[in-house]
Amino acid sequence: MKRTPFYHKHVALGGKIVEFAGYEMPVQYPSGIIAEHKAVREGAGGVFDVSHMGEFDVAGPDALAFLQTITTNDVAALVPGQAQYSSLPNERGTLLDDLIVYYVEPNHYMIIVNGATMEKDWAWFSKHAPRFNVKLTNFTEETALLAIQGKGAQAALQTLTKVDLSKIEYYHFTSGILAGVHCGISRTGYTGEPGYEIWFPHEGNADRVWDAIFEAGKSVGGLQAIGLGARDTLRLEMGYCLYGNDINEETNPLEAGLGWITKLNKTPECLAFPALRQIKERGLTRKLVGLITDEKGAIMRHGHKIVDESGNTIGEITSGNISPMLNKAIALGYVPTALGKDGTEVLVETRPGKRVKARVQKPPFVKPEVKA
């Protein structure tokens, strides 16, 4: 297994290390998942090591056409310094990954992909690139990526850079010196809270940046290191998809609620669009929805079956946990399209013979006080 440049920091902080996406990563620290979660939602904020993610560079005269062909969103709508959430489908219209496209400058883009799918994504990019005048670079191994999320993120980071962070709009980015290191700085995140993600060459820089961020955090009441467990509960409260759970190569973006990043009329069109148009014309048979239950002690988990009154399986939970902010079980799952309206009641089989009543509720389950 691989280790990120911050592995020794996680161990020193008492992080419980698990395997994730081929890396040894902290799932939680001694304070626990709920405390970490609330540090981001209610406290000054937290710092996430997301260096397991993959980073690609796409440059050349055909960079735009290439990305239009392999991603679902309209890359042509971007201006330099803007980022875009998108997805990477195959010819069948099902999802290889979801990702973020960063428009650096004309003919130059950066892509951040999921760590667990990085090699598969790189193979897909490399397979389709020869038809275009583009140069691809995979700079994952030399790159560190940190997410600083929460109400104190801006104030803390601002003490480390002359870049005016207040000028960076949501889903926009810039570059500059932060803690003495040249970094990319984007106003993005996976928590719904205000915050930033920063990336930089880790060799000789990782400790300096990590230490500087936590020292700066003291000025806002203290930033907390956050593990994978709280990262998951935070994104689940927002209803954000997790690749491998809520979306995968058996799901398409239309049924996954990602029609808003699937621009079927863009030019040139994505290679998956003929298949997706057929799927749309036939009509969707299922959709990804949010679910919540008021039953005490209940918990809905990935893989739990959604059943009808007779016990017949009609869907499945793809992500589920207890919301630390609501103290209720929440989940994402696929149900027949006819059952996808808010307020519709369904039954979730949490164990053999045990069924929990849940209702459809459009995420986010928790609305952050401050806009991301």
Q: What is the pLDDT of residues 66-105, one digit of tens each?
A: 999 999 999 999 999 999 999 999 999 999 999 999 999 9
pLDDT at 353: 85
Gap between the Cα atoms of 13 and 46, Å rounded = 14
| Predicted pLDDT at 296 | 93
- Alpha-helix runs per DSSP H in 269-308: 273-282
SS3 366: coil
**Rounded distance, CA 341 to CA 286, Å?**
12
Q: How far is CA 86 from CA 96, 151, 314, in A?
A: 11, 26, 29
Adjacency order of strands within the sheet including 95-105: 83-89, 95-105, 108-113, 54-59, 135-138
Q: What residue ranges define each of the domains in the chain, with the CATH number in brackets?
A: 2-52+141-237 (3.30.1360.120), 54-129 (3.30.70.1400), 285-363 (2.40.30.110)
With vertex at residue 42, the alpha carbon angle to CA 40 and CA 43, rounded to the nearest 5 degrees, is 70
For residue 190, what pLDDT is reported? 98
pLDDT for the residue 178: 98
190 half-sphere exposure, CB direction, 13 A CA radius: 26
- Residues of the chain with pLDDT below 70 are none
Residues sharing a CB contact under 8 Å with residue 54, sequence separation 6 or more, in sequence order: 112, 113, 114, 115, 117, 118, 121, 122, 138, 140
Q: Quick: pLDDT tens for 266-317.
A: 999 999 999 999 999 999 999 999 999 999 999 999 999 999 999 999 999 9
pLDDT value for 319: 98
